[in-house]
Structure 1
Amino acid sequence: MFQTFDSPANPAQGPARLAALRAKLAAEGLAGFIIPRSDVHQGEYVAARDERLQWLTGFTGSAGFCIVLPDVAGVFIDGRYRTQVKGQVDLAHYTPVPWPEVKPGDWIRDHLAAGAVGFDPWLHSADEVARIEAALEGAGLDLRPVANMVDAIWPDQPPAPMGRAFAHPEAIAGESSAAKRARLAEGLRKAGQTAAVITLPDSLCWLLNLRGADVPRNPILHGFAILHDDARVTLFAEGAKFDEATLATLGPHVTLRPPAAFVPALHTLQGPVRVDKGTAPIAVRLELEDAGVAAVWGDDPCRLPKAKKNAAEIAGMREAHLRDGAAMVEFLCWLDAQPQGSLTEISVVRSLEGFRRATNALHDISFDTISGSGPNGAIMHYRVTEESNRAVGRDELLLVDSGAQYLDGTTDITRTIAMGDPGDFARACYTRVLRGLVAISRARWPRGLSGRDLDPLARFPLWVEGMDFDHGTGHGVGAFLSVHEGPQRLSRINEVPFEPGMILSNEPGYYREGEFGIRLENLIVVEEAAKKGDGRDQLAFETLTFVPFDRRLVVSAMLSGEERDWLNAYHAEVLEKLGARLSAKALEWCRAACAEV
């Protein structure tokens, strides 16, 4: 199967590795070093070679960083990981730090009197570095770009990935690479820029209609690219990843060169050259400046066009979600038929992957399935291992967050299921979370609003009871690309206006540490809203995910009439869209699951 259940890190190894790093820092005259969970491409998903944070500390989350100083090593984690980190790091040697509430620059000032803190300039954006430098100003502390100190003490660091590159068909992409390059090159010319440096793997994959296999679960290719103002592209990636057929699809105006040629190529450019301050490694800007090449800050030219899916991509995503929805219903039917006490978290994961494989269209899962029963459901990004595997108990909640990569689309869905009778309090919490999901699903808003503006809709049913959840309401999703995609998000910190074609998750939740977790998630796509009222220009969401919610956990009396109508209409649509795709047994189950509330 795609998913494994090994433990990728051992907290017991952390103290010795920390001591080795401190010895290396002392030998280099450094008082500290910053270890992010990132690679030279600044992507969220990294290959084994780049799991420096995990190797050093034991923490396996998808976001965070560690700052090692002489007397303290802080592991900075956001709200998703504050329960998880406590079980993954040696708390006698590593100190969890709540981030972004605590800023790294302020924390360094509080814990270091003098000296230089090193950072690898290939692993940090200019925005990150600028924020820390601003906080350290006047404190007698220096932030210094250096060679990577963790690599220097990691004796068996894995090699760089060499996954196969392959073409993404134009019929699914909806636009040729040549057309994309021409469109973006025109934007460069209008801005008076000669080239743009592209460092995000999903950006270069989208631009060139390529896919790859360099990180788990997400079909991306590691590389850099330079887009010139005449629509030529120089791609810096390992040639061994390409067969002749894939190379032929690139066409005559895309030149493949080895990764080692990237920095020398930067030195030969004639500016001004666009660099994305928020996503490109600061090393790119430093290399351009050292060579006397004029560089200007500007957005990665691919990010926004990539986020606004075209008609073909949206059609592919719809089909992928119907296929995946049918597999999910088969799984939920199977799950309900199992005797209480007979399942484990791992057996749930294996079964679900089996139903997705039975579609004969599964390319990969889109992330490791979260199968959290009882208290493990409160660990927001829980990954079950052979060591943590728990029997699914009686009368508790089971949270299953999963997704799939199909050639025509990427899925991400969460359902929380009653295993027996979890009690009235759990049902009330579930209903509040469901009301938040319904509020986002029903939203209409004036063009120009962003995730920050809509995020409160999902939280209001919890807020009025003094509750909340410590993660964003939703993230962007790629089309057979990264399951987490920017720049759009449903989040109180996101200010990117929503535009038609953007796909996001809608996933409010509620978590009680040591007891249970609840999360419900559908994917949605921004669309033009039908005119009504005084005809204002508004946007709305179309739901892509069709899988029943657990009616046994819905307290009908807590729903308004409009919320109840939405839920009943949604379930009627689930049955209509999926009925012909289901086995006889699953269809019978689905009819009962979709009965009116």
Structure 2
Amino acid sequence: MKRVNKLREIMKNKNIDHYIITSNDPHQSEYVAEHYRGRAYVSGFTGSSGTLLVSNDSSKLWTDGRYFIQAENELKGSGIDLMKMRTTGYPTLEEYIKENVNKGEVIGFDGNCYSTNAYKKLLELSEENSFKIQINNDLLDEIWEDRPTVPKDKIILHDIDFCGEGRNDKLSNVRKKMNELKVKSFILTSLDDIAWLFNIRGNDVKFNPVVMAYAIIKMDEVTLYIDNNKVTDEIISEFKSQNITIKRYEEIISDVKTLTDSVYIDPAKVNASIFNAIPKEIKVIEGINITTSLKAIKNEVELRNLENCQVRDGVAMVRFIKWLKESIGNMRVTEISATKKLSSIRAEGKYAKGDSFGTIAGYKEHAAMMHYSANEESDYEILNEGMFLVDSGGQYLDGTTDITRTFVMGNITEEEKRDFTLVLKGHINLSMAKFLRGTTGVNLDILARGPLWKYGIDYKCGTGHGVGFFLNVHEGPQGIAPQNNTVVLEPGMILTNEPGIYKEGKYGIRTENTLVVVKDETTEFGDFYRFDTISYCPIDLNGVVKELLSIEELEWLNNYHETVYNKLSPFMNEKEKEFLQELTRVI
């Protein structure tokens, strides 16, 4: 409340009636460096997604279903009202502004951290309601004591032996698409796209091996805008030999002002400040980043490396499960200590570069919060009872992993066993999908939810997301969710499969594997695709009600466990093999 009130004082001094703080950085990243976590600093809500609107007499925070429980807890006593996105009875941010911002009033925000899409919606509303917009106000600097600085670690080059394609070939493919779109320039601002295009990786965002940078691609030249302290003379020389110029990060705005003819942008990723700098007389074509679609389809080298990476990650997971099961009752194990143990086991693996996101380790009712993160006050001790959900992943030079297992720690209720099995049924249904070319994730989402819907149960999030290659664990454009997504699933795309059941105050269950889209067969009716599961880790059979599984589902489970054993056992000692054999037994 003190921070909100301090913000209001500054707003009053600057004649700003309403101030918006997003969760974004200047690149509209999902996860951001600490320097840009201003919404969390002011509101106290620490989830990755949310928008705060502070007005003279009220404060509102919008977030999605993944964070409702967490946000309600963290906002207690703050004076900030929770606005539940995509929930009946709660207006969207734009709807609220339309009804509550009056003629002549001023809305302010930092244009660097506000997307073009959101900015254009506000412009439309301002014309309707005759309010004013100020986009050059970063008020956080004035209230945030000891604000973290932007990281300045050196970048590394991602070897072609891992990524399978050189930056010149990637640029050539980008330019082919630019030619089709009839554009002379392409402004690229999303960090994972830049890392992929230039085969570079960094350490600017925790868990995401990206670097703060912009790029402008033209038909005859390329400019990368980055802090000069992050690049070595060798990298500068190599880029120069490939006709890639390196300029200071801040020079992007002045160079955008000099663009001519036509430009391509992704309005969901380009910030309002850059959009405002584009000369009004040139043609602006908007769409999803060209690189995003290219990056989504992994090449043969990436897929081969990812297979090796997933096997190593599976071995780490089994070693963690063995430690967990053998430690409970013999030593004190908590959500935090279990998280640290899993990270340390993963770190021993070849090519390991840390976790791919903050591990979600929730025991009993904590797991009902989809993105729960334990702290010293909330840290539960794991006992020989109930269920323990662990959602984790690793970053490796040869891939990125994301896997969730819910462990049965002891006696659980019949309701818990039923729900565990329903989640498994949904997971298996999606895993076994065979679908016609042209199918989107929206078409398949019902396969995972169907078994839960029969019991009047649902989960308030998507079923699956894309995964990067030694990049962001959440990667578009593909996804599996009930919301409209027109991206067609194509061979080489990676997606997660993670249905779940979350009962507030009781427990949470999620089973997640990573899938790759592959060709199945071609018939007179067209090309058919399927999923291959590329995560290798046992599913806790102690939670499975065999009688609830169909013959086909039971066959899938036994075949999956046979594959897990065959993939992982060659890398294990005899005791680990015996343990794994029990976990993957036929039922």
Category of TM-score, reference length = shorter chain: over 0.9
Q: CA deviation at 1:153?
A: 2.4
Of residues 95, 100, 121, the one that matches 2:81 is: 95
1:84 is matched with: 70
- CA contact 2:208–2:472 (8 Å) conserved in 1: yes
Are positions 1:392 and 2:378 aligned together?
Answer: no
1:186 matched to 2:172? The reply is no
Aligned equivalent of 1:500: 491
Deviation at 1:136, TM superposition (A): 6.0
The 8 Å contact of residues 60 and 80 in structure 2, kept in 1 or not, is answered as: yes
Please list, as runs of the form range in 1=range in 2, the aligned pairs for 1:462-481 lying within 5 A after superposition: 462-481=452-471
d(CA) in 1 for partners of 2:166 and 2:99? 53
Counterpart Cα distance in 2 of 1:42 and 1:452: 24
Structure 2 residue corresponding to 1:516, chosen from 485, 495, 507: 507
Find 1:343's aligned residue among 333, 353, 356: 333
Deviation at 1:113, TM superposition (A): 4.2
Show the counterpart of 1:331.
320
Residue 283 of structure 2 corresponds to residue 294 of structure 1:
yes
> Alpha-carbon deviation of 1:20?
1.0
Match of 2:255 in 1: 265
SS in 2 for 1:158: coil
Larger deviation, residues 569-578 vs 443-452 = 443-452
Equivalences for 1:427-446 in 2 at 5 Å? 427-446=417-436
8 Å contact kept, 1:320–1:409: yes
- Residues 246 and 585 of structure 1: CA distance in aligned 2, closer, same or farther (over 3 Å): farther
TM-score (ref. length: structure 2): 0.96
Q: Could you give the per-residue CA deviations for residues 373-424 of structure 1, whole angstroms, max 9, x where no partner exists? A: 0111111111111222111134211000000001000000000000101111
Partners of 1:451 and 1:424 in 2: CA distance: 32
| TM-score (normalizing by structure 1) | 0.94
Counterpart of 2:159 (choices 162, 165, 169) is 169
1:33 is matched with 19
In the alignment, what sits opposite 1:214?
Answer: 204
Kept after mapping to 2: 8 A contact 1:330/1:582 = no
Matches within 5 A, 1:295-444: 295-340=284-329, 342-444=332-434
Instruction: Indicate the residue corresponding to 2:439 in structure 1.
Output: 449
CA 1:567/1:120 → structure 2, altered by over 3 Å: closer, same or farther?
same
RMSD (CA atoms): 1.6
1 CA distance for matches of 2:127 and 2:427? 44
Count of residues in Structure 1 that have an aligned counterpart in Structure 2: 580
Task: Give the Å deviation of 1:337.
Answer: 1.2
Indicate the residue corresponding to 1:234 in structure 2: 223
Q: Check 1:270–1:132 CA distance in 2 against 1; reply closer, same or farther (3 A cut).
A: closer
The aligned counterpart of 1:58 is 44
Write the distance in 2 (CA, Å) between the matches of 1:432 and 1:414.
16
Q: CA 1:66–1:569 in 2, change beyond 3 Å: closer, same or farther?
A: same
Distance 2:357 2:97 in 1: 34
Give the deviation of 1:137 after TM superposition: 5.5
> In the TM superposition, what is the alpha-carbon distance from 1:296 to its structure 2 partner?
2.3
Distance in 2, matches of 1:592 and 1:155, equals: 54
Aligned with 1:108 (options 81, 89, 97): 97
Task: Compute the displacement of 1:591 (Å).
Answer: 0.5
Identity of aligned residues (%): 33
Residue 226 of structure 1: SS of its match in structure 2?
strand
For the residue of structure 1 that corresponds to 2:257, the secondary structure is helix
1:553 counterpart residue number: 543
Displacement, 1:464?
0.9
Deviation at 1:560, TM superposition (A): 0.8
CA distance in 1, matches of 2:188, 2:11: 32
For 1:112 and 1:242, locate their aligned partners in 2 and report how far apart those are by CA, in whole Å.
Answer: 46
Q: 1:92 to 1:482 in 2, by over 3 A?
A: closer
Aligned mates of 1:338, 1:168 — CA distance in 2: 38
Q: Secondary structure at the match of 1:219?
A: coil
Tell me the CA shift for residue 310 of structure 1.
Answer: 0.5
Q: Measure, in 1, the Cα distance between the counterparts of 2:549 and 2:68.
A: 32
User: How far apart in 1 are the matches of 2:562 and 2:301?
Assistant: 26
Distance 1:513 1:136, change over 3 A: farther
- CA drift of 1:186 comes to 2.0
Q: What 5-or-longer segments of structure 1 have no aligned partner?
A: 1-14
Q: 1:134 to 1:288 in 2, by over 3 A?
A: closer
- In structure 1, C-alpha distance between the alignment counterparts of 2:56 and 2:582, rounded to whole Å: 61
- Whole-Å separation in 1 of the counterparts to 2:437 and 2:52: 39
Which amino acid in the other structure matches residue 72 of structure 1?
S
Residues 392 and 199 (structure 1), Cα distance of their counterparts in 2 relative to 1, 3 Å cut: same
Q: Check whether the contact 1:105–1:136 (CA below 8 A) recurs between aligned residues.
A: no
8 Å Cα contact 2:189/2:215 also seen in 1: yes
Please state how far the C-alpha of 1:497 moved relative to its aligned partner: 1.0
Tell me which of 24, 32, 45 is aligned to 2:10. Answer: 24
Is residue 110–residue 137 contact of structure 2 (8 Å, CA) maintained in 1? yes
CA distance in 2, matches of 1:371, 1:519: 12
CA distance in 2, matches of 1:151, 1:468: 42
Equivalent residue number for residue 35 of structure 2: 49
One-letter amino acid of the structure 2 residue matched with residue 65 of structure 1 = T
Q: Distance in 1 between matches of 2:328 and 2:140?
A: 49
Partner deviation per Cα, 1:166-224 (whole Å, 9 max, x = no partner): 10011211111001111111221232211100000111111111111111011101100
One-letter code of the match for 2:378?
A: S
What letter matches 2:222 in structure 1? V
**What's the CA shift for 1:268?**
1.8
Residue 347 of structure 1, CA deviation: 1.6
CA distance in 2, matches of 1:83, 1:90: 11
In the alignment, the residues of structure 2 paired with residue 100 and residue 134 of structure 1 have an alpha-carbon distance, to the nearest angstrom, of 22
Shift of 1:360: 4.2
CA distance in 2, matches of 1:39, 1:564: 46
Query: Which amino acid in the other structure matches residue 281 of structure 1?
Result: N
Partner of 2:576: 586
Q: Residue type of the partner of 2:538?
A: P
How far off its partner does 1:439 sit? 1.0
Give 1:11's aligned residue. Answer: none
